[in-house]
Amino acid sequence: MNSKDIIEELRKHKNQKNIDGMKRFGIVGGEMIGWPTVPAMRKWGEQLGPNHELALELWKSNIHEARIIAAYAEDHKTLTERQMDSWVNDFESWDICDLVCSGLFDKTPYLEKKIWEWTKSDKEFVRRAGFVLICAKAVHDKKAKDSEFIKYFPLIKKYSSDERNFVRKAVNWALRQIGKRNKALNKKAIKIAKELSSSNNKTTRWIGKDALRELEKKKF
């Protein structure tokens, strides 16, 4: 199937009820079809890929579901920094951001560089993407040393006052994922969470308290 065939097939299943439901969960952006399940799109994308050109065409359609399929069809070995920067600046919704970062971008050799670049961005979803990459690394890179995650604590502390919903949740998520890797990192993450919990800043305080609840329950 080419991109035109895929888009035509998607549009046959447009469901306004599903679209309305997605929007209630903060899922927005471009043309939306209301496709019911991500697993179905993942299966479709993986069957079509790896196909770099098809992924690019689907992404350019600006159709929400087509972009999800594009992420699964794309070949991470062909990704360039330029394409990653282009796609991240197209992010309008947390689901696309998280899916692309944790299922595609984290497989590239640019992961570390993009963490430091994107967390510094003033754009909400670009900054979120940087923290989601930290989450993805914490979950997927089993061989990474503790020191590779300790260096992210200053980033977490620095941006913990960003009150934008999708940033603060990503900062919180990054702290929790680091703290769930092992006992040593858990202890250090709890220390950071307690420090944030005592802040005078409302957002920082929420991030610390929310993370602390999960981190203190973690058993090793």
Nearest-10 crossing angle of helices 124-140, 81-88: 120
pLDDT category at 187 given cuts 50, 70, 90 is very high
pLDDT, tens digit (0-9, with 9 covering 90-100), for 144-181:
999 999 999 999 999 999 999 999 999 999 999 999 99
What pairs with residue 63 in β-bridges? 31
The pLDDT value given to residue 37: 77
Please give the Cα distance from 138 to 171 (Å, whole number).
13
The pLDDT value given to residue 38: 84
Residue 205 token pair? 């305080």
Residue 114 vs residues 118, 123, 138, 197, 218: alpha-carbon distances, Å:
6, 14, 15, 28, 29
What pairs with residue 31 in β-bridges? 63
Least confident of 21-25, 176-180, 190-194: 21-25
What mean pLDDT value characterizes the chain?
Answer: 96
Stretch 43-50: mean pLDDT, rounded?
92
φ and ψ at 63, to 5 degrees? -95, 125
The pLDDT value given to residue 40: 86
Please give the Cα distance from 90 to 87 (Å, whole number).
5
Share of the chain above pLDDT 70, in %: 100
50 cis-preceded (ω within 30 degrees of 0): yes
Q: Which of 157, 161, 191 is nearest to 174 (CA)?
A: 157
Residue 85 token pair? 């920067």
Q: Which of 35, 42, 34, 69 is nearest to 55 (CA)?
A: 69
Query: Percentage helix, strand, coil, to 5, in the chain?
Result: 70, 0, 30
For residue 208, pLDDT over 80 is answered with: yes
The pLDDT value given to residue 39: 84
Least confident of 26-40, 144-158, 193-207: 26-40
Stretch 185-214: mean pLDDT, rounded?
98
pLDDT, tens digit (0-9, with 9 covering 90-100), for 84-113:
999 999 999 999 999 999 999 999 999 999
For residue 36, pLDDT over 80 is answered with: no
The pLDDT value given to residue 181: 97
CA 148 from centroid of its chain's CA atoms: 19
CA 187 from centroid of its chain's CA atoms: 25
User: According to the 3-state scheme, what is the secondary structure of 154-187?
Assistant: HHHHHCCCCCCHHHHHHHHHHHHHHHCCCHHHHH
The pLDDT value given to residue 35: 82
